[in-house]
Structure 1
Amino acid sequence: MAQHNAFYAQSGGVTAVINASACGVIEACRRHGDRIGKVYAGHNGIIGALTEDLIDVSQESDEAIRALRHTPGGAFGSCRYKLKDIESHRAQYERLIEVFKAHDIRYFFYNGGGDSADTCLKVSQLSEKMGYPLTAIHVPKTVDNDLPITDNSPGFGSVAKYIATSTREAALDIASMCATSTKVFVLEVMGRHAGWIAAAGALAGNGEGEPPHLVIFPEVAFDRGAVMKRVEESVKRYGYCVVVVSEGARYADGTFLADAGNTDAFGHRQLGGVAPTLAGMIKQDLGYKYHWAVADYLQRAARHLASKTDVDQAYAVGREAVELALAGKNAMMPAIKRVSDDPYEWRVEAAPLAEVANKEKFMPRDFIREDGFGITPVCRRYLAPLIQGEDFPPFENGLPMFASLKLAKVERKLPTFEL
């Protein structure tokens, strides 16, 4: 068969294991060198394709590519840049095809979340309309765990492990000091519309009085009175209260507790910090001394505490993306299928992008306790396997070692394109 090149790019917020998916894609492409020539990576995601800012991955050693498996962040640069609809912004999509033609790229691997799935699907549709033979595969990734069809999203398991661990550790700190100092600790976690990460915080405890004493989900309307009552009960009963709150916590009318009043590049509302907002309410209503923390980038960059399950799955979907492409499975996504909870078993299956793009998976109601402030046993059974196992990076001088890439640029062949 004829040999053609491949393009790989990362999109959206990065994770502790997105580079493990990159490793899976690149190593699989190298194993199929009879059909795939060079692998080009987009510098800063899809922007790299539009501006013809390509990285020649063939310049990287096998050792450097293997090191991606234990390296956090986005090795080739990611971006928050959403392509608009084809009808009104056709020039952008046509530019992508022009770049792919110029560099003989026939395989397109886009590693990201829901918006990336939409882009991948649109690129596939336009290439077909333009008569250019391009196979587009979406490689799933998102700490939010809100992609449909797939049982879970690569990137989530490691964040879940970090948040559950941090909640447990911080709770010991608060418990030590509560008699004479801090009574309430509030931990803010990611999750704009879905409370999966907040739910993971509940794994820190599993018994009467064990923290967190309160989990606040986006799926449950925020009731200030009910929350304050629960906080006060916890402090009186246990001496302290640990709260895990999702950044997307909102009132019954849909208004975010911490709406900053503007939007990001994807059109999502920018949130201004729900932890200090909630802590301020607690101080105002109850008078308790508090501390709050925002996990922010720490939760998604914590490769030193990654879940082995997550690392294995991230690598597997990257590898399987190449196999799907070579099998001619266009506009698809390798999805994780859970076979059993105990023992935990899973496999990778193909899912049509048309059923993934622009769809979100929220916490099922039976995963949330009836009172709305914690998780149910069925949710715990779902979450528990995803944080299992350790996959430590190599350490040197007490610090983790990560991949060091050449990031050699490819010579441009086309005129400059303005975004």
Structure 2
Amino acid sequence: MSPARRSSATTGNLLYAQSGGVTAVINATAAGVIEAARARGVKVYAARNGILGALREDLIDTTKETASAIAALRHTPGGAFGSCRYKLKSLEDNRAEYERLIEVFRAHDIRWFLYNGGNDSADTALKLSRIGKTLGYDIRCIGVPKTVDNDLAVTDCCPGFGSVAKYTAISTLEASLDVASMAETSTKVFILEVMGRHAGWIAAAAGLAGEGPDAAPHIILFPENAFDEAAFLARVKATVERVGWCTVVASEGVRNAAGQFLAEAGTRDAFGHAQLGGVAPVLAALVKEKLGYKYHWAVPDYLQRSARHAASKVDADQAFAVGRAAVDYALAGMNAVMPVIVRSADAPYRWKIEPAPLAKIANREKKMPKSFITRDGFGITAAARRYLSPLIRGEAPLPYGKNGLPNYVRLKNTAVTARLPAFKP
């Protein structure tokens, strides 16, 4: 299926919005979008707090920002314009929201909409790409990839993942050196809980911290595999007896044989996803009760996706590149596509950006291949290393101030004057 095209508009404004959980490099994508549009003489508005800003007509005029401020987005974590977890229903279920979006687009002459997010955001962009014609308004919609989970279909990897992978591998390595130094009289088992509801990409990245049976992490628990308590405890015990200590990395999405999350909080977010967190203490209590080992555990949570100080250069470069490509595609008249990363070689690592249809991406989840997980279920294979290793390479240095902290930018985020009555979704 080739990317959909329409005749390229020559006038109008572009609207950019960030969606879902942010990453250490999502603002690099924003910088790519804004700089590319400025070079083409196109004004960029940003929706404050994602699609909600578009619905509320709460728009930001990025022309009020200096070139240096936009450039500084390339090294600033978080979401510069705010993000949200909000999923549009179908046109049949909630026509009013779609009509409102078209009203906002029309009021501000928005002819291109770029939605920077994951699976659900790709679905939203796809729905909007089809709705303009239905409601009589010419709009081109481009999905822009972003997710730390690395679970978007088609693209080789997702901007945001390489940096969280690097942070996870570094954290596993450093914490393991700490545990090793204390194991004689103190901690025997360290458990690191990482993000990953259904796909174990982040957990797998921890495996880059070391190679061989005695190198940490000694055990990785993937959501792709049902948790086997007996096998887990046996591996922990054998590792401690052989090495003297044991590092465990567990995905938050680990489930038991019945398919239940080991640590489901019992609540759900706006996308209907279970709110997870707490698998590390569950595992730690199990280790203490069954084996009697002293333990420590950690849940980095937001630290994983905000750690710009440990960002991968490859990831930062890819995040910027998809932003620029999204503008090129939009202004070329493309619709319902996403700029995806295509790997052309592993060693040396080479990649390029190509357009892919949103219909092949929206609401599809890419899980790790079985060939990436060792037969015992507790580690990563050579194939996984070949895939993962290039994504964490290179450093993306930060400018530091005299106070010893990074100089991150905070934009003015000047509001665009509203032209429509208030709307409450």
Kindly indicate whether the alpha-carbon contact (under 8 Å) linking 1:53 and 1:410 is maintained by their aligned counterparts in 2: yes
Q: 2 CA distance for matches of 1:59 and 1:243?
A: 48
Q: Which residue of 1 aligns with 2:393?
A: 388
In the TM superposition, what are the counterparts of 1:119-158 in structure 2 within 5 Å? Answer: 119-158=124-163
4+ aligned runs moved over 3 Å, structure 1: none
Amino acid at match of 2:28: A
Q: 1 CA distance for matches of 2:258 and 2:340?
A: 34
Q: Does 1:19 align with 2:30?
A: no
Q: 1 CA distance for matches of 2:194 and 2:54?
A: 32
Q: Which residue of 1 aligns with 2:361?
A: 356
Kindly indicate whether the alpha-carbon contact (under 8 Å) linking 1:195 and 1:218 is maintained by their aligned counterparts in 2: yes
Q: 2 CA distance for matches of 1:213 and 1:390?
A: 27
Q: 2 CA distance for matches of 1:273 and 1:98?
A: 44
Kindly indicate whether the alpha-carbon contact (under 8 Å) linking 1:258 and 1:271 is maintained by their aligned counterparts in 2: yes
Q: 2 CA distance for matches of 1:104 and 1:190?
A: 39
Q: TM (normalized to structure 2)?
A: 0.97
- Of 315, 328, 332, which residue of structure 2 is paired with 1:327? 332
Amino acid at match of 2:81: F
Q: 1 CA distance for matches of 2:15 and 2:409?
A: 20
Amino acid at match of 1:296: D
Amino acid at match of 2:184: A
Instruction: Return 5+ residue gaps in structure 2 as ranges.
Output: 1-8
Q: Does 1:88 align with 2:88?
A: no
- CA deviations on 1:85-124 (whole Å, 9 max, x unpaired) are 2211111111111000000000000000000000000011
Amino acid at match of 2:412: K
- Of 273, 281, 306, which residue of structure 1 is paired with 2:311? 306
CA-based RMSD of the aligned residues comes to 0.7
Kindly indicate whether the alpha-carbon contact (under 8 Å) linking 1:82 and 1:266 is maintained by their aligned counterparts in 2: yes
Kindly indicate whether the alpha-carbon contact (under 8 Å) linking 1:303 and 1:392 is maintained by their aligned counterparts in 2: no
Q: Which residue of 2 aligns with 1:413?
A: 419
Q: 2 CA distance for matches of 1:304 and 1:392?
A: 7
Superposed displacement of residue 403, structure 1: 1.3
Q: Does 1:76 align with 2:84?
A: no
Q: TM (normalized to structure 1)?
A: 0.98
Q: Which residue of 2 aligns with 1:7?
A: 15
Superposed displacement of residue 253, structure 1: 2.0
Q: Which residue of 1 aligns with 2:342?
A: 337
- Of 167, 188, 210, which residue of structure 1 is paired with 2:172? 167
Amino acid at match of 1:314: A
Q: Which residue of 2 aligns with 1:181?
A: 186
- CA deviations on 1:20-51 (whole Å, 9 max, x unpaired) are 00000000000110xx2x21100001000000
Q: Which residue of 2 aligns with 1:296?
A: 301
Q: 2 CA distance for matches of 1:208 and 1:360?
A: 31
In the TM superposition, what are the counterparts of 1:227-376 in structure 2 within 5 Å? Answer: 227-376=232-381
Superposed displacement of residue 16, structure 1: 0.2
SS of residue paired to 2:364: coil
Q: Work out the percentage of aligned pairs sharing the same amino acid.
A: 65
Instruction: Return 5+ residue gaps in structure 1 as ranges.
Output: none
SS of residue paired to 2:24: coil
Q: 2 CA distance for matches of 1:150 and 1:27?
A: 23
Q: Which residue of 2 aligns with 1:31?
A: 39
Give aligned pairs, total.
416
- CA deviations on 1:325-360 (whole Å, 9 max, x unpaired) are 111110000000000000000000100000000000
CA pair 168-209 structure 1, distance change in 2 beyond 3 A: same
